[in-house]
Amino acid sequence: MDPEIIKKCKLFDNMSEEEIQAVLNGLKTTVVPSGKSVIAEHAAGDNLYVVVSGSVEITKDLAENDESMVAQLTTLEAGDFFGEMALLDNEPRSANVVSRNNAELMIIPRERFLEIAFSNPRVLFNLIRTLSWRLRDTNQRFAEVTEKLIAQNRLMAIGLAASKIIHDIKTPLTVIILTAQLLENLYPDGKSFTESIVKQANVVDQMVREILDFAKGQTTPITPHEVNLEEFCNEIRDTFGQTLVGRNIDLIINNRVRDKVWFDESKMRRVIVNLMKNSSEAMKESGYIRLDTLIEDEMLLLIVSDNGKGLPERIKANLFTPFQTEGKSHGTGLGLAITKKLILEHKGNIEYKPNEPQGTIFIIKLPLREVK
């Protein structure tokens, strides 16, 4: 066996070469072919193993009568050890161990392990330290799995709610649209107003459907077409600007693109308005919200920035994951996640960076032409 590998084994930390050699005296190694079992769950435990070369995979049975239901726990490499728990508590093995890469294993029988442990207390200390580290790692893994399960359950609940909302609002939205069309027939001069009513009613329906698609993990159908960016920006100014009336917040739109561009206008409008809405909610008194558009490296850039309070460090790393929200009593934490999904479905991307001296900047990059 390679003495350098044994020296690296956590079980023998802070031991001299003479002490390690005394431990190794008389011990044997075996090579277990890849895919072969080293330890079977529930079997009696009689040996501790040190991985000399190759690796082993630790798994856990999830169902007693179904061999296919197995959870992969971790992989141990050269220098790691396993099998100690059954020697300490005299209980059956609690997991399976399978050889990978023709693992070479040093075998330490129970009696020899107890002899080594009592004659050299450092081994017990190293064992306890390794068990402590593994427990911390298990706790972290458990927390991550629990968090994912909670998120999945919340998405499921939101999906059920969205399904019910779509069903419940179908009739009133239809009534609103039909009433608007009737008013247009009665008062042709009010066509621009009735068209706005119909458009916003359709927006409500589409927004709920996007939430439902996100909760189900489905792709939202997009219909890209040529867009006049000047008209697009003017409409955002007219619609979103109304939400800022009475507040000391400036809406600045600087469009530097005169050529027609290509995207799903209704969905990208919601992307921009959602980012602006987040900026607005981050401002208590005064400030600015800005949209800049330009073409760079054959990509359309839509840049939404503000000088609000900015984002706290704790949510920056997971900014576009579901349920990341800050300072919103009624926020779902899905806005940015759905925003990114819509952009990715356009074959584009979005990135965040802090504004200086304070605030946020979101940079959206979209293809200039349709990507099939």
pLDDT digits over 210-220, tens only?
766 766 666 77
Longest dimension (CA), the chain: 101
DSSP state of 95: S
Enumerate the domain spans of the chain: 3-119, 145-216, 225-367
Q: Is the pLDDT of residue 229 over 90?
A: yes
Please give the CATH topology (third level) of the domain spanning 225-367: Heat Shock Protein 90 (3.30.565)
Q: Give the H/E segment covering residue 345.
A: helix 335-345
Was domain 3-119 assigned CATH 1.10.530.10?
no
Tens-place pLDDT, residues 64-121: 555 556 777 889 998 888 988 887 777 888 889 999 999 999 898 988 888 887 877 8
pLDDT at 142: 63
Does the pTM exceed 0.85? no
Using alpha carbons, list the distances in angstroms from residue 363 to 152, 181, 301.
29, 38, 7
Which amino acid, residue 327?
G
Q: Is 140 exposed, middle or buried (0-12, 13-18, 19+ CB in 10 A)?
A: exposed
Alpha carbons 94 and 237: distance in angstroms, whole number = 63
Please write down the long-range contacts of 325-333, taking CB distance under 8 Å and 24 or more positions apart.
327/281, 327/282, 328/281, 332/158
Q: Is the pLDDT of residue 5 over 70?
A: no
Query: Do the first three CATH levels of 3-119 and 225-367 match, i.e. the same topology?
Result: no
Per-residue buried b or exposed e for 69-99, using 16+ beta carbons within 10 Å of the residue's own CB: ebeebeebebbbbbbbbbbbeeeebebbbbb
Using alpha carbons, list the distances in angstroms from residue 346 to 64, 235, 339.
46, 21, 11
Structure tokens at 244: 């800022």
Tens-place pLDDT, residues 261-313: 999 998 899 899 989 988 998 887 789 999 999 999 889 999 999 998 888 88
215 in Cβ contact with 155 (< 8 Å): yes
Average pLDDT on 194-200 reads 80
